[in-house]
A = this chain, B = another copy of it.
């Protein structure tokens, strides 16, 4: 098998003092942190679309990068070569999971049948590679947003024909996910949203989306898919207004349409910040509702208002995220998928390695620190103490719903003056800074 990344060997852990740009400083797969190894905690996945399909195009210019597997003689060959390259990369970087859209895995065919045939062929090869390399499919999904036919949405398209076409794609994508033992199946509502309310029936589109997801869920369950269906919140882009705006919006939607048992959330950093939230906020909201499913790891640029999908590097952002994840008991059957792309001008083959090493190290460091921070427990103790008036007496009764407003008002009237309780935010930030 040809080497697609001949200049790079398997990336090794060398410790924090290493200056080797092609070594890990923090990520040491088998190191135990708490009750699990780093690999078990972090479940890193490589995103097929960015890493093996992203060529660096942007609205102001075409791609700058080409991949060797693009030169195969036919679509099936190219798909197999691409898999070879992808698994070589994943093995070298030490990722134990990957994720794809149907038309990352294969080039879309002229017909649905042709696409399906290519999918089956690619899946066969993928299965062998998965087994050979010990790499699992974290999730599959269907790209029902790039093709012009989806310009007005897929499940929410005003034209029923498009909905039917999307269903055929999704069915195949679920089948392939099942065939490859995928741990989850994702819906990123690419163009499920609107560009203008003037030409949109918001109510009908939203109900169509619920219907479609319900049907997909039923199909999956009937066909032995045991994993979670994941929805990925995003507020905007490509459509001006996406229906899956943020965690609260998606949870409200799932609750309304009775989908909470089968669906969970795939939270992306850059989507969180575009929606006006922090990453840890979105994680905490999902965790509180019991639907923290998986993570799309990247970062946005706070000075620009679009989805820059940069590799994650911010130690504070990630520390606080890992804190939520550890409090949640981990990320379960989800993982940390690098939905991130190297910059358009990162044109050396090594750049993809640098990027992943940086992201994996940043998460590994955050894991180590979040674990230690919580072991010390300074913040957690403070928070517990801060709410302790609800652990006993009338506060407890209030929480248990045993007081009427009138009773509570009387308590309020009768109690004497009381002191202000400092929130001690600067102190708390200083505590955190000990772990950054």
- Residues of A in contact, count (CB < 8 Å): 154
Contact A171 B398 (CB under 8 A): no
- The 8 sampled A-B contact pairs (Cβ below 8 Å) are A21-B430, A152-B421, A160-B395, A196-B423, A197-B278, A198-B425, A248-B253, A351-B424
Contacts of A354 in B (CB 8 A): 424, 426-427, 430
**Chain B residues whose C-beta falls within 8 Å of the C-beta of A320 in the assembled complex:** 197-198
Q: Which of chain B's residues have a CB closer than 8 A to the CB of A145? A: 60-61
Q: Say how many copies of this protein the assembly contains.
A: 4
A215: which B residues are within 8 A, CB to CB? 403-405, 408
Q: Contact check: which of B150, B165, B347 meets A422 at CB < 8 Å?
A: B347
Mark interface residues in A300-317 (1 if CB within 8 Å of B CB, else 0): 011111111001011110
**Scoring A residues 168 to 205 as 1 if CB is less than 8 Å from chain B, else 0, what string do you get?**
11111000000000000000001100011111111110
Q: 9 smallest A-B Cβ distances: which pairs?
A: A305-B305, A252-B252, A160-B395, A168-B412, A164-B412, A219-B405, A167-B408, A160-B389, A61-B146
* B429 close to A382 (CB less than 8 A): no
Interface positions, chain A 397-427, Cβ under 8 Å from B, are 398-399, 401, 403-406, 408-413, 415, 418, 420-427
Cβ contact within 8 Å between A164 and B60: no
In the complex, A41→B413 CA distance in Å? 41
**Which one of A80-88, A89-97, A126-134, A234-242 contacts B?**
A234-242
Extra inter-chain contacts (8) besides given A311-B429, A358-B430, CB under 8 Å: A60-B145, A61-B147, A64-B148, A198-B425, A203-B288, A277-B303, A305-B306, A362-B433
